[in-house]
Amino acid sequence: MRIVEQPDIFLREPTTNVKFPLSQEDQALIDQMIETMYHNNGIGLAANQVGYARRMFVMDTTTNKTDPMVFINPVIKKKAHEKLTEEEGCLSCPKKLVDVKRPVYVGLEYYCRHGEEQYKTFYYLSSRVIQHEMDHLEGKLITDLS
Ligand SMILES: [Zn+2]
């Protein structure tokens, strides 16, 4: 899959919720997103980065890259007061690194690819990636945050 890069206006377009149950095409799209994330050495990828203006993203923050997670219709329900600043890159903003200050944990409500509602608290790197991908779904890029 081709990654949509800045300044493509598509990255700024609104995204819409995914409907359940997922079709076979939706499942295939998720698999392709995971593959594309690994292929580009990313740790997160939002659907609108590969041309689908839908509210989902994939993430794998493990060292072995063996635990891809899928987040559909995600909503941040809780955020830490404590924030940390770290450098972030983005597959849609090649060669750019930006210091971004973000809450150290978030509580996220989302659906898995089987349509089950989930709630989980994510910390540090996972929290950061989730907030980065949520920004994508809102049409926001790290270059807006510097
Ligand atoms: Zn990004």
pLDDT of residue 145: 87
Q: Which residue has the tokens 């989730």?
A: 130
Contact 17, 55 (CB under 8 A): yes
Instruction: Write down how long the chain is.
Output: 146
Pairing of strands 105-111, 98-103: unpaired
Query: Would you please indicate which residues are annotated as catalytic (active-site) residues?
Result: 133
> Which tokens in the block code for residue 52?
């689908």
* Ligand 1 center–CA 22 separation, angstroms: 24
* Ligand 1 center–CA 143 separation, angstroms: 10
- Rounded to a whole number of angstroms, the CA Rg of the chain reads 14
Question: How does 82-120 read in b/e, with b if 16+ C-beta sit within 10 Å?
Answer: eeeeeebbbbbbeeeebebebbebbebebbebeeeeeee
* Ligand 1 center–CA 138 separation, angstroms: 12
Contact 116, 48 (CB under 8 A): no
* Ligand 1 center–CA 21 separation, angstroms: 27
State the Cα–Cα distance between residues 43 and 144, nearest whole angstrom. 20
* Ligand 1 center–CA 52 separation, angstroms: 14
Per-position pLDDT tens, the chain of length 146: 999 999 999 999 999 999 999 999 999 999 999 999 999 999 999 999 999 999 999 999 999 999 999 999 999 999 999 999 999 999 999 999 999 999 999 999 999 999 999 999 999 999 999 999 999 999 999 999 86
State the Cα–Cα distance between residues 17 and 4, nearest whole angstrom. 20
Q: What is the DSSP letter of 89?
A: -
* Ligand 1 center–CA 91 separation, angstroms: 5
State the Cα–Cα distance between residues 63 and 65, nearest whole angstrom. 6
Contact 72, 113 (CB under 8 A): yes
